[in-house]
Amino acid sequence: MSIDKKTLSIAIMSGKGGVGKTNIALNLAYALYDLKNSAILMDCDLGLANLDVLLGVTPEKNLQDLLDPDLQARDIVISLEDSRLDFLPAATGVPELANWDSDIQSILLEKLNDFFHNYDYLLLDLEAGIGNTVTILGAMARLKCVVITPEPTSLTDSYALIKILSSQRGIRDFLIIVNMVKTRREGELAFERLQRACRHFLGIEIALLGIILRDSAVSKAVLSQTPLCKLEPESMAYRNIKEIALKINKLDTDVLSTDSALDMDMLNLDIHLGH
Ligand SMILES: Nc1ncnc2c1ncn2[C@@H]1O[C@H](COP(=O)(O)OP(=O)(O)OP(=O)(O)O)[C@@H](O)[C@H]1O
Ligand SMILES: [Mg+2]
Protein backbone atom coordinates (compact mmCIF):
# COMPACT_ATOMS: atom_id res chain seq x y z
CA MET A 1 0.00 0.00 0.00
CA SER A 2 1.42 3.37 -0.92
CA ILE A 3 1.86 5.93 1.80
CA ASP A 4 0.26 8.81 -0.12
CA LYS A 5 -2.96 6.92 -0.68
CA LYS A 6 -6.16 8.78 0.16
CA THR A 7 -8.51 7.58 2.83
CA LEU A 8 -12.20 8.43 2.85
CA SER A 9 -13.42 8.93 6.41
CA ILE A 10 -17.09 8.41 7.22
CA ALA A 11 -18.66 9.45 10.53
CA ILE A 12 -21.81 7.61 11.60
CA MET A 13 -23.77 9.86 13.95
CA SER A 14 -27.28 10.32 15.32
CA GLY A 15 -29.21 12.70 17.50
CA LYS A 16 -31.09 10.00 19.37
CA GLY A 17 -29.51 6.82 20.74
CA GLY A 18 -30.33 3.28 19.70
CA VAL A 19 -31.15 4.06 16.06
CA GLY A 20 -28.70 1.50 14.64
CA LYS A 21 -25.39 3.39 14.21
CA THR A 22 -23.13 0.61 15.49
CA ASN A 23 -24.81 -2.08 13.39
CA ILE A 24 -24.67 0.16 10.32
CA ALA A 25 -21.00 1.14 10.80
CA LEU A 26 -20.02 -2.49 11.30
CA ASN A 27 -21.89 -3.93 8.34
CA LEU A 28 -20.98 -1.02 6.08
CA ALA A 29 -17.31 -1.71 6.82
CA TYR A 30 -17.79 -5.36 5.78
CA ALA A 31 -19.77 -4.35 2.68
CA LEU A 32 -17.01 -1.94 1.59
CA TYR A 33 -14.44 -4.67 2.23
CA ASP A 34 -16.48 -7.05 0.07
CA LEU A 35 -16.23 -4.47 -2.71
CA LYS A 36 -12.44 -5.00 -2.64
CA ASN A 37 -11.57 -2.08 -0.38
CA SER A 38 -9.58 -2.02 2.81
CA ALA A 39 -11.35 -0.47 5.79
CA ILE A 40 -10.83 0.31 9.44
CA LEU A 41 -13.70 0.46 11.86
CA MET A 42 -13.05 2.74 14.82
CA ASP A 43 -15.19 2.59 17.94
CA CYS A 44 -15.53 6.25 18.91
CA ASP A 45 -18.24 5.66 21.50
CA LEU A 46 -16.06 6.50 24.48
CA GLY A 47 -18.99 6.43 26.88
CA LEU A 48 -20.49 3.07 26.02
CA ALA A 49 -18.30 1.29 23.50
CA ASN A 50 -19.98 -1.80 22.14
CA LEU A 51 -18.63 -2.62 18.72
CA ASP A 52 -16.50 -5.31 20.35
CA VAL A 53 -19.65 -6.91 21.73
CA LEU A 54 -21.37 -6.94 18.33
CA LEU A 55 -18.23 -8.34 16.72
CA GLY A 56 -17.88 -10.98 19.41
CA VAL A 57 -14.25 -10.05 20.13
CA THR A 58 -12.48 -9.24 23.41
CA PRO A 59 -9.87 -6.53 22.80
CA GLU A 60 -6.67 -6.80 24.83
CA LYS A 61 -5.79 -3.18 24.16
CA ASN A 62 -7.77 -0.12 23.21
CA LEU A 63 -7.53 3.57 22.34
CA GLN A 64 -6.31 4.42 25.82
CA ASP A 65 -3.17 2.31 25.30
CA LEU A 66 -2.18 4.64 22.47
CA LEU A 67 -1.24 7.17 25.14
CA ASP A 68 1.70 4.87 25.94
CA PRO A 69 4.58 6.31 23.87
CA ASP A 70 5.85 2.79 23.11
CA LEU A 71 2.61 1.66 21.54
CA GLN A 72 1.41 2.42 18.03
CA ALA A 73 -1.98 2.00 16.38
CA ARG A 74 -0.88 -1.26 14.72
CA ASP A 75 -0.30 -2.74 18.21
CA ILE A 76 -3.90 -2.09 19.13
CA VAL A 77 -5.99 -2.95 16.08
CA ILE A 78 -7.70 -6.29 15.73
CA SER A 79 -7.71 -7.83 12.28
CA LEU A 80 -11.20 -8.94 11.26
CA GLU A 81 -10.39 -10.12 7.73
CA ASP A 82 -6.84 -10.71 6.41
CA SER A 83 -5.53 -7.28 7.55
CA ARG A 84 -7.74 -5.44 5.07
CA LEU A 85 -10.61 -5.04 7.50
CA ASP A 86 -9.46 -3.96 10.93
CA PHE A 87 -11.09 -2.85 14.16
CA LEU A 88 -9.82 -0.18 16.55
CA PRO A 89 -11.43 -0.66 19.98
CA ALA A 90 -12.42 2.25 22.23
CA ALA A 91 -11.72 2.70 25.91
CA THR A 92 -14.68 3.14 28.18
CA GLY A 93 -14.83 4.75 31.57
CA VAL A 94 -11.84 7.04 30.89
CA PRO A 95 -13.07 10.59 31.46
CA GLU A 96 -9.95 12.27 29.95
CA LEU A 97 -10.66 10.45 26.73
CA ALA A 98 -14.40 10.90 26.78
CA ASN A 99 -13.98 14.64 27.23
CA TRP A 100 -11.27 14.90 24.59
CA ASP A 101 -8.86 16.90 26.66
CA SER A 102 -6.89 18.91 24.09
CA ASP A 103 -3.43 17.40 24.83
CA ILE A 104 -4.87 13.93 24.53
CA GLN A 105 -6.59 14.86 21.29
CA SER A 106 -3.38 15.82 19.58
CA ILE A 107 -1.39 12.82 20.88
CA LEU A 108 -4.01 10.36 19.74
CA LEU A 109 -4.98 11.96 16.49
CA GLU A 110 -1.39 12.42 15.35
CA LYS A 111 -0.67 8.73 15.88
CA LEU A 112 -3.91 7.69 14.27
CA ASN A 113 -4.04 9.94 11.25
CA ASP A 114 -0.83 8.55 9.74
CA PHE A 115 -1.94 5.03 10.41
CA PHE A 116 -5.33 5.57 8.75
CA HIS A 117 -3.59 6.08 5.44
CA ASN A 118 -3.18 2.32 5.21
CA TYR A 119 -6.89 2.01 4.44
CA ASP A 120 -9.32 3.08 1.72
CA TYR A 121 -12.08 3.77 4.24
CA LEU A 122 -12.23 4.85 7.87
CA LEU A 123 -15.59 4.32 9.58
CA LEU A 124 -16.22 6.16 12.83
CA ASP A 125 -18.95 4.71 15.05
CA LEU A 126 -19.84 7.70 17.21
CA GLU A 127 -21.94 8.05 20.32
CA ALA A 128 -25.43 9.50 20.08
CA GLY A 129 -26.10 13.16 20.74
CA ILE A 130 -24.05 16.31 20.69
CA GLY A 131 -21.16 15.59 23.06
CA ASN A 132 -17.52 16.59 22.45
CA THR A 133 -16.55 13.42 20.61
CA VAL A 134 -19.30 13.99 18.10
CA THR A 135 -18.69 17.67 17.49
CA ILE A 136 -14.92 17.10 17.21
CA LEU A 137 -14.47 13.70 15.56
CA GLY A 138 -17.69 13.85 13.54
CA ALA A 139 -16.67 17.21 12.13
CA MET A 140 -13.21 15.89 11.21
CA ALA A 141 -14.58 13.13 8.98
CA ARG A 142 -15.06 13.78 5.27
CA LEU A 143 -18.56 12.24 5.03
CA LYS A 144 -21.00 13.04 7.80
CA CYS A 145 -23.79 10.47 7.96
CA VAL A 146 -26.70 11.00 10.28
CA VAL A 147 -28.82 7.94 11.06
CA ILE A 148 -32.50 8.60 11.72
CA THR A 149 -35.64 6.54 12.23
CA PRO A 150 -39.18 7.70 11.41
CA GLU A 151 -39.92 8.37 15.10
CA PRO A 152 -40.65 12.05 15.80
CA THR A 153 -38.04 12.08 18.60
CA SER A 154 -35.37 10.86 16.21
CA LEU A 155 -36.31 13.58 13.73
CA THR A 156 -36.17 16.39 16.30
CA ASP A 157 -32.91 15.11 17.80
CA SER A 158 -31.21 14.74 14.41
CA TYR A 159 -32.35 18.22 13.49
CA ALA A 160 -30.70 19.48 16.72
CA LEU A 161 -27.47 17.62 15.86
CA ILE A 162 -27.37 19.09 12.35
CA LYS A 163 -28.11 22.55 13.72
CA ILE A 164 -25.24 22.36 16.22
CA LEU A 165 -22.70 20.96 13.76
CA SER A 166 -23.61 23.62 11.24
CA SER A 167 -23.57 26.56 13.66
CA GLN A 168 -20.50 25.49 15.68
CA ARG A 169 -18.42 23.87 12.95
CA GLY A 170 -19.73 25.37 9.74
CA ILE A 171 -20.70 21.95 8.35
CA ARG A 172 -23.32 21.98 5.60
CA ASP A 173 -23.01 18.60 3.91
CA PHE A 174 -24.96 15.87 5.67
CA LEU A 175 -25.91 12.44 4.34
CA ILE A 176 -28.96 10.80 5.86
CA ILE A 177 -29.59 7.09 6.43
CA VAL A 178 -33.14 6.22 7.48
CA ASN A 179 -33.18 2.99 9.49
CA MET A 180 -35.87 0.66 10.83
CA VAL A 181 -38.64 1.53 8.40
CA LYS A 182 -41.54 -0.72 7.38
CA THR A 183 -41.49 0.46 3.78
CA ARG A 184 -39.16 2.53 1.59
CA ARG A 185 -41.95 5.08 1.32
CA GLU A 186 -41.96 5.51 5.09
CA GLY A 187 -38.22 6.17 4.88
CA GLU A 188 -38.62 8.73 2.12
CA LEU A 189 -41.30 10.56 4.07
CA ALA A 190 -39.13 10.71 7.20
CA PHE A 191 -36.23 12.06 5.13
CA GLU A 192 -38.47 14.66 3.47
CA ARG A 193 -39.69 15.91 6.84
CA LEU A 194 -36.13 16.43 8.06
CA GLN A 195 -35.16 17.91 4.69
CA ARG A 196 -37.94 20.52 4.92
CA ALA A 197 -36.89 21.56 8.44
CA CYS A 198 -33.17 21.81 7.50
CA ARG A 199 -33.97 23.76 4.34
CA HIS A 200 -36.44 26.12 5.97
CA PHE A 201 -34.75 26.87 9.29
CA LEU A 202 -31.05 26.27 8.58
CA GLY A 203 -30.78 26.86 4.84
CA ILE A 204 -29.06 23.48 4.52
CA GLU A 205 -29.69 20.87 1.79
CA ILE A 206 -29.33 17.37 3.21
CA ALA A 207 -29.03 14.29 0.96
CA LEU A 208 -30.57 10.83 1.30
CA LEU A 209 -27.83 8.17 1.33
CA GLY A 210 -30.02 5.14 1.93
CA ILE A 211 -32.97 3.44 3.57
CA ILE A 212 -32.71 0.29 5.71
CA LEU A 213 -35.82 -1.77 6.45
CA ARG A 214 -36.69 -3.00 9.91
CA ASP A 215 -35.51 -6.59 9.90
CA SER A 216 -35.51 -9.12 12.75
CA ALA A 217 -32.23 -10.49 11.37
CA VAL A 218 -30.46 -7.44 12.89
CA SER A 219 -31.47 -8.28 16.46
CA LYS A 220 -30.65 -11.95 15.82
CA ALA A 221 -27.15 -10.85 14.80
CA VAL A 222 -26.83 -8.70 17.93
CA LEU A 223 -27.99 -11.56 20.15
CA SER A 224 -25.54 -14.01 18.62
CA GLN A 225 -22.71 -11.42 18.61
CA THR A 226 -22.08 -12.19 14.96
CA PRO A 227 -22.08 -9.49 12.27
CA LEU A 228 -25.31 -9.49 10.25
CA CYS A 229 -23.33 -9.90 7.02
CA LYS A 230 -21.97 -13.20 8.34
CA LEU A 231 -25.12 -14.51 10.00
CA GLU A 232 -27.69 -13.49 7.37
CA PRO A 233 -25.94 -12.14 4.28
CA GLU A 234 -29.17 -12.39 2.25
CA SER A 235 -31.26 -10.47 4.80
CA MET A 236 -33.09 -7.39 3.60
CA ALA A 237 -31.26 -5.11 6.06
CA TYR A 238 -27.82 -6.27 4.83
CA ARG A 239 -28.92 -5.90 1.21
CA ASN A 240 -29.93 -2.31 2.01
CA ILE A 241 -26.53 -1.69 3.63
CA LYS A 242 -24.78 -3.14 0.57
CA GLU A 243 -26.68 -0.62 -1.59
CA ILE A 244 -25.29 2.18 0.60
CA ALA A 245 -21.75 0.74 0.29
CA LEU A 246 -22.12 0.64 -3.50
CA LYS A 247 -23.19 4.29 -3.52
CA ILE A 248 -20.23 5.30 -1.35
CA ASN A 249 -17.88 3.21 -3.47
CA LYS A 250 -19.02 5.08 -6.58
CA LEU A 251 -18.26 8.50 -5.08
CA ASP A 252 -15.24 10.16 -6.59
CA THR A 253 -12.78 9.63 -3.75
CA ASP A 254 -10.10 11.75 -5.39
CA VAL A 255 -12.37 14.75 -5.19
CA LEU A 256 -13.72 13.88 -1.76
CA SER A 257 -10.57 12.79 0.03
CA THR A 258 -8.39 15.28 1.76
CA ASP A 259 -4.70 14.67 2.35
CA SER A 260 -5.26 13.48 5.89
CA ALA A 261 -8.01 11.02 6.77
CA LEU A 262 -9.27 13.32 9.51
CA ASP A 263 -9.37 17.06 8.97
CA MET A 264 -6.99 18.34 11.67
CA ASP A 265 -8.06 21.96 11.05
CA MET A 266 -11.32 21.12 12.79
CA LEU A 267 -9.39 20.70 16.05
CA ASN A 268 -8.49 24.38 16.07
CA LEU A 269 -11.80 25.62 14.81
CA ASP A 270 -12.88 26.88 18.21
CA ILE A 271 -10.04 29.35 18.04
CA HIS A 272 -10.93 30.40 14.49
CA LEU A 273 -14.51 31.00 15.52
CA GLY A 274 -13.40 32.94 18.55
CA HIS A 275 -15.13 30.73 21.14
N1 LIG B 1 -32.71 -2.35 10.58
C2 LIG B 1 -32.99 -2.81 11.81
N3 LIG B 1 -34.03 -3.66 11.99
C4 LIG B 1 -34.34 -4.12 13.21
N5 LIG B 1 -33.68 -3.80 14.34
C6 LIG B 1 -32.65 -2.97 14.23
C7 LIG B 1 -32.23 -2.42 12.97
N8 LIG B 1 -31.16 -1.62 13.20
C9 LIG B 1 -30.93 -1.67 14.53
N10 LIG B 1 -31.81 -2.48 15.15
C11 LIG B 1 -31.91 -2.75 16.60
O12 LIG B 1 -31.60 -1.59 17.31
C13 LIG B 1 -30.72 -1.88 18.36
C14 LIG B 1 -29.75 -0.72 18.53
O15 LIG B 1 -28.82 -0.76 17.45
P16 LIG B 1 -27.37 -0.13 17.60
O17 LIG B 1 -26.71 -0.57 18.84
O18 LIG B 1 -26.67 -0.36 16.32
O19 LIG B 1 -27.79 1.40 17.74
P20 LIG B 1 -26.87 2.64 18.11
O21 LIG B 1 -27.44 3.80 17.38
O22 LIG B 1 -25.45 2.31 17.86
O23 LIG B 1 -27.12 2.80 19.66
P24 LIG B 1 -26.30 3.74 20.69
O25 LIG B 1 -26.83 5.13 20.46
O26 LIG B 1 -26.67 3.20 22.03
O27 LIG B 1 -24.85 3.62 20.35
C28 LIG B 1 -30.02 -3.18 18.00
O29 LIG B 1 -29.80 -3.95 19.13
C30 LIG B 1 -30.94 -3.84 17.03
O31 LIG B 1 -31.67 -4.85 17.69
MG1 LIG C 1 -23.75 2.44 19.10
Whether the predicted pLDDT of 166 surpasses 60: yes
Q: Which ligand is nearest to the Cα of residue 20, counting in written order?
A: 1
Ligand 1 contact via 18 beta carbon (within 6 Å): yes
Given this model, what pLDDT does residue 171 score?
94
How close is the Cα of 182 to the center of ligand 1, in Å?
Answer: 15
Which residues, at least 6 apart from 44, have a Cβ–Cβ distance to it below 8 Å? Answer: 90, 124, 125, 126, 127, 133, 137
What's the pTM?
A: 0.93
Ligand 1 contact via 78 beta carbon (within 6 Å): no
Q: How many CB atoms lie within 10 A of CB 130?
A: 18
> Cα 23 to the chain's mean position, in Å?
10
CATH code, residues 8-268: 3.40.50.300
What is the tens place of the pLDDT at every residue in 85-125? 999 999 777 777 777 777 777 888 888 988 999 999 999 99
Ligand 1 contact via 235 beta carbon (within 6 Å): no
Lowest-confidence region among 86-90, 120-124, 134-138, 189-193: 134-138
Say how far apart CA 111 and CA 29 lie, in whole Å. Answer: 22
What is the tens place of the pLDDT at every residue in 212-242? 999 999 999 999 999 999 999 999 999 999 9
Instruction: Please identify every residue whose CB atom is under 5 Å from ligand 2, which is an ion.
Output: 21-22
Ligand 1 contact via 59 beta carbon (within 6 Å): no
Which residues, at least 6 apart from 159, have a Cβ–Cβ distance to it below 8 Å? Answer: 15, 194, 197, 198
Average pLDDT over every residue of 156-183: 96
Lowest-confidence region among 28-32, 106-110, 169-173, 198-202: 106-110
The dihedral over CA atoms of 101, 106, 111, 112, expressed in degrees to the nearest 10, equals 70
How close is the Cα of 21 to the center of ligand 1, in Å?
Answer: 7
Work out the percent of the chain whose per-residue pLDDT is above 90: 72
